[in-house]
Amino acid sequence: MAKTAIVTGGTRGIGEAISVMLKDQGMTVAANFGGNEERAKAFTDRTGIAAYKWDVGDHEACQEGCARVAEEIGPIDVLVNNAGITRDGTLAKMSYEDWHEVMRVNLGGCFNMAKACFPGMKERGWGRIVNIGSINGQGGQYGQVNYAAAKSGIHGFTKALAQEGARAGITVNALAPGYIDTDMVAAVPEPVLEKIVAKIPVGRLGQAEEIARGVAFLCSDEAGFVTGSTMSINGGQHMY
Contacting positions for ligand NDP (CB under 6 A): 8-9, 11-15, 32-36, 39, 55-57, 82-85, 105, 132, 134-135, 177, 179-180, 182-185
Nearer to ligand NDP by Cβ, of 25 and 141: the residue is 141
Nearer to ligand NDP by Cβ, of 32 and 152: the residue is 32
- Whether the CB-CB separation of 33 and 24 falls below 8 Å is answered with no
The CA–CA distances, whole Å, from 202 to 41, 187, 198, 238 equal 35, 22, 9, 12
Active site annotation includes 147: yes
Cα-based angle 111, 156, 79 (whole degrees, multiple of 5): 40
Given the residues 52, 96, 147, 179, the one annotated as active site: 147
**What is the Cα–Cα distance from 116 to 65, expressed in whole angstroms?**
9
Q: Which amino acid is at 117?
A: C
Q: How far is the CB of 189 from ligand NDP (least distance, A)?
A: 14
Q: How far is the CB of 225 from ligand NDP (least distance, A)?
A: 25
Q: How far is the CB of 169 from ligand NDP (least distance, A)?
A: 26
- Whether the CB-CB separation of 211 and 178 falls below 8 Å is answered with no
Which residues participate in catalysis according to the annotation?
147
